[in-house]
Structure 1
Amino acid sequence: MIAIWNQPWFALAVTIAVGLPVLLVILTEVLAFLVRRGHPAAKPVRLLRNLVLPVGALLGLLSLANHQNVEFTWVRVVATLFGFLVILLLLSSVNVVLFGNPEEGSWRERLPSIFIDLARLGLILVGLALLFSWVWDADIGGLITALGVTSIVIGLALQTAVGSIISGLLLLFEQPFKLGDWLDTGKVVGRVVGVNWRAVHIDTGNGIQIVPNATLAGASFTNLSEAPGSFMATSTVKFSTDDPPHQVIDLMQKVASGLPMRTPGESIEASYAGAATYSISIPVSGPAAEAGASALFLAWLWYAARREGLALDGDTTDPIAEPERLAEALAYVTTVLRLGPGDFSWMTERCRLERYGHGEMVLPARRIPDAFRLVLDGHVQLSVPTLVGPVNVERLERGDVFGLLSLSRELEQTAATAEGTITVMRIPADVVDRLIVEHPALARAMGQSIEARQKSVALALASTLGIEGAAGSL
């Protein structure tokens, strides 16, 4: 009688009985470690532990039992299942090695997942064909021929649709643009809001334009969002031939510099093209800001040109420049300043009315004011620029005065911004000096206004930023 340890199946049975539990314990610890780290290798390790090893052990045991009159078909079934699981394990491992942690901007990151899925499906089909040929002695030559002929027929019938899909996959792989980018295809300009295998969806502002991928792949287009440096919003305007070009260019640059969508630190390019035509390029954050920047620039330029007496579009007419309006405004100013009766006709040639559009900076912060300004119409917002943004101090209305520190030639701490369209009276500092000489009480009233304004600034900063003792430090 042969000893049991001398049986041909003993070594394999002991190996399975002892080795399988040990391997499962080791793989469980490895899997827990990978899961905690969020490592992509956790998926193939889980597949190895839960399916490949147990089915492999079962196949080994059935192979031993096959010699004990067990039906041979079951061994083939389990061998087929085991082979399929091994194919999945190999593909999953290759996927982890190649695409587990792709570098940013590399081809592995840009490769669409559909390519990976199609390649995986093809390898699985080839692997299964070889597996059936090896385990079941199946003839797969006829099947491969039939599939090839079917693929050719389907490809010819759907070549247009398949071409668009392939073009879409190539665009997804190359990634010349991404969602949110602005494209100029020559016929369509807009923002990319969707990309699929067949077409790109572009928001033109007047609807969604569907552009087939084959059209984009076969023609040139411009990705406006990938322009070097800042994106430029361009505008072309005309003035009168009597307007000095350098004065016009300086005005255009001054207006453009105050636009809220302008990119800080980038230069504004303005030039004279001849025949009273001027062009300007304003750096903005991107194509989405182009329309807003151009529209706001043209609106503000209209007000600024009339304040400077320049003929935008050849027109210098401004209703507020009429003498009757100025005389009426001066009468109101003398009442607000409590100047009493007297002859103030000399102020007519020194003072003037100004209009500003919504959002325009009437008086920048941290500058010496060039004049006093009294609000005649609309509202003016006073604010203090800080590192965390502007802090609102006071909202001025009809009869309020700002730019008071022009009297002492000191830096103004607050910025004055127009809320809506406003009209103000500009009173030069030397005019105020003369008024103070003639009306000493005006100096005391202005001193009190300056002190009250400084306290308002301190309280606003203390309330918004939590600056203790700010009121006492100003």
Structure 2
Amino acid sequence: MFEDAFRDGWGWWVIALAVGVPVLLVVLTELINGLRRRNNALAGPLRLLRNGVIPVGALFALLAFAIQSPAEQVWTRVVATVFGFLVILLLLSSFNVALFAHAAEDSWRKRIPTIFVEIARLVLVALGLALLFSWVWDADVGGLFTALGVGSIVIGLALQNAVGGVISGLLLLFEQPFKIGDFLDAAGVRGRVVEVNWRAVHIDTGSGIQIVPNSSLSGASFTNLSEPDGPYSASTSVKFSTDDPPHEVMALLVEVADALPMKVARERASVSYSGAGAYGVAIPVAGPSDASRALSTYLSWLWYAARRHGFALDGDATDPIAEPGRLAEALRSIASTLHLRDDDLEALLTASSLERYGVGEIVLPSGVVPDEVRVVVSGRAILSLEVDGGRVEFAAAEKGDIIGQTALTRERTQAVTVAGEILTVVVLPLATVDELIRTRPRLAAEIGESLELKRTLAADRLAALSLSRGSIGSR
């Protein structure tokens, strides 16, 4: 009997399956565990091989070769069909890992949309199953392919508009001329891309989400404002009077632009002069989302700065604070601060001036020796220390307070003074203030006390900041 078993061959199949399958499963288990620890994508196909292909293949071998069941038997055909289907899935999974799992970010394989891969996989599975049924069950699949071909043509003609949009979307996804987070100017819509799918692109315009069909984008030109890499340029045109010296105007335009908080660090604004009082300004900002805010702030600051320098922005040099009587009124409002007497007002009227600053403008930068002293008439200024690229507020200057006291001690400023709101100040030349101090010892003492108080406040703020950072770092 045993001789008959080995002579017929089924005995060897039983021994091979009884010994080989468990050994192969153990080896695959160890290999899969090792690949999973390294997060290797190959672990997926091997898991399918271990859990599906080998057990079903062993069952098929047992039925077909060991037990030698007839090929026409239903159970043999069912197991052969399942085994063939699992082999198809294994081949497709292995192909997917080999081609796409380790694709470089800038390669064509990485740019292929997932839906393309899924459609191709579905088509291959359908073709594989058709061939499998033809081999195992002797099914006639020729008619099926013919019906599918004719049906596809009919459906394509009926849905050509809808399908055209889908295909346009898929091609757009494959090409990837933009990505999530980029800023587009497309089809009259300008904003940031927040979602891209096979049908449409969702663009955040700042006032809502605009849905732009992919067919519209693929059939027309659009601008990717986020390309190429680097700072985005917020551009605007301004016009001054032809009487204003061009180089002085250009210096002012750059100075105001470089003070903007939205400007990219270590980048400078550029200005071009095209004649007839017309200038072009380009401000480097992080992206289009900052451009509108930067230009709005820039143009408002430029209005104040132009009038402080006596330039005619848009051909208009009039300034409300330059009206007769405004300076005399301002001097009377700060007379107690400077210990002024009635006979001092007339002299100060010719030596001093009024200036106004917009919200956020730098009134006095840090690291300079002032050659003027300013006294607040209205509004509020903020004194801040520049620390690690940011600003830390430590004091404020309000009506009657003096800005630029280090001019009297000939020292560099340690703080930056910024207009916290619309700020109006009286500007006094250093020589005028020196003369006031010489004849008013009490004024000199008050200025010295104020300067020392600000130094103390700045030191305390820095100490508190260091202590706070130390406590955070120790957690």
TM-score over 0.5 for the alignment? yes
What CA distance in whole angstroms lies between the structure 1 residues aligned with 2:70 and 2:407?
A: 111
Written as runs of structure 1 = structure 2, the 5 A alignment for 1:417-428 is 417-428=418-429
Percent identity, please: 55
Match of 2:188 in 1: 187
Hey, what's the Cα distance between the residues in 2 that align with 1:463 and 1:228?
Answer: 39
What is the match of residue 274 of structure 2? 273
3-state SS of the aligned residue for 1:222? Answer: strand
Match for residue 436 of structure 1? 437
TM-score, with length taken from structure 2:
0.94
CA distance in 2 between partners of 1:454 and 1:187 (Å) = 54
Tell me the CA shift for residue 186 of structure 1.
Answer: 5.9
TM-score by length of 1: 0.94
CA contact (8 A) 1:374 1:424 kept: yes
8 A contact 2:232–2:286 mirrored in 1: yes
Which stretch has the larger CA shift, 124-133 or 228-237?
A: 228-237
Is 2:360 aligned against 1:356?
no
Per the alignment, in what secondary structure is the counterpart of residue 265 of structure 2?
Answer: coil
Partner of 1:235, secondary structure, is strand
For 2:315 and 2:46, the matched residues in 1 are separated by 78
Matches within 5 A, 1:238-277: 238-277=239-278
- 1:224-373 alignment runs, 5 A limit: 224-227=225-228, 229-339=230-340, 342-373=343-374
Name the aligned partner's letter for residue 22 of structure 1: V
1:131 aligns with 132
1:93-121 C-alpha deviation (Å, 9 max, x unpaired): 11111111221111111110001001111
Q: Deviations over 1:201-247 (max 9, x none)?
A: 33344544433322222222211111354211111122222222222
Distance 1:445 1:372 in 2: 15
In structure 2, C-alpha distance between the alignment counterparts of 1:239 and 1:97, rounded to whole Å: 65
1:190 Cα offset (Å): 2.7
- 1:95 matched to which residue of 2? 96
CA contact (8 A) 1:271 1:279 kept: yes
SS in 2 for 1:343: helix
User: What letter corresponds to residue 385 of structure 2 in structure 1?
Assistant: V
**Conservation of the 8 A alpha-carbon contact between 1:99 and 1:108:** yes
User: After the TM superposition, which of the residue ranges 360-369 and 190-199 deviates more from structure 2?
Assistant: 190-199
Would the alpha carbon gap of residues 107 and 358 (structure 1) be closer, same or farther in structure 2, given more than 3 Å must change?
A: same
Which shows bigger deviation, 457-466 or 262-271?
262-271
Report the Cα distance in structure 2 between the residues aligned to 1:311 and 1:2, rounded to whole angstroms: 113
Show the counterpart of 1:155: 156
C-alpha RMSD of the superposition: 2.0
* Counterpart in the other structure of 2:33: 32
- In the alignment, is the contact (CA less than 8 A) between 2:305 and 2:357 conserved in 1? yes
Counterpart in the other structure of 1:472: none
Call closer, same or farther: CA 1:71–1:171 in 2, change over 3 Å. closer
Q: Deviations over 1:391-446 (max 9, x none)?
A: 21112221221211111221100000111211111122111111111112322222
Partner of 2:473: none
CA distance in 2, matches of 1:386, 1:91: 58
**Alignment of 1:383 onto 2:366:** no
1:393 aligned partner: 394
Letter in 2 for 1:280: V
CA distance in 2, matches of 1:226, 1:2: 78
Shift of 1:467: 9.3
Tell me if the contact between 2:64 and 2:70 (Cα under 8 Å) persists in the aligned partners.
no
Which range moves more in the overlay, 199-208 or 73-82?
199-208
C-alpha distance 53-432 of structure 1, shift in aligned 2 (>3 A): same
Give the conservation status (yes or no) of the 8 Å contact 1:461–1:467: no
Tell me the secondary structure at the aligned position of residue 351 of structure 2: coil
Asked whether the 8 Å contact 1:353–1:426 carries over to 2, the reply is yes
Instruction: Answer with 416-425 or 188-197: which moved more.
Output: 188-197
The answer as to whether partners of 1:329 and 1:425 remain within 8 angstroms in 2 is yes
2:217 aligned with 1:216 = yes
1:320-344, Cα deviation, whole Å (9 max, x unpaired): 1223221122123230133456533
Displacement after TM superposition at 1:267 (Å): 2.9
Note if contact 1:191-1:204 (Cα within 8 Å) is conserved in structure 2: yes
Kindly provide the amino acid, as one letter, of the partner of residue 227 in structure 1.
Answer: P
Provide structure 1 residue ranges, at least 5 long, that are not aligned to the other structure. Answer: 469-474
Report the counterpart of residue 402 of structure 1 in structure 2: 403
Q: Secondary structure at the match of 2:311?
A: coil
Aligned to 2:413: 412
Q: Bigger CA drift: 302-311 or 315-324?
A: 315-324
In structure 1, the partner of 2:472 is: none
* Counterpart-to-counterpart distance in 2, 1:467 and 1:195: 43
Letter in 1 for 2:94: S
Specify whether residues 430 and 22 from structure 1 end up closer, same or farther in structure 2 by C-alpha distance, changes over 3 A only.
same
Amino acid of the structure 1 residue aligned with 2:313: L
- Corresponding letter in the other structure for 2:132: L
CA distance in 1, matches of 2:340, 2:346: 13
Residue identity opposite 1:366 in structure 2: G
Equivalent pairs, count: 468
Q: 1:123 to 1:448 in 2, by over 3 A?
A: same
Taking a change above 3 Å as real, the CA distance of residues 219 and 341 of structure 1, as seen in their structure-2 partners, is: closer
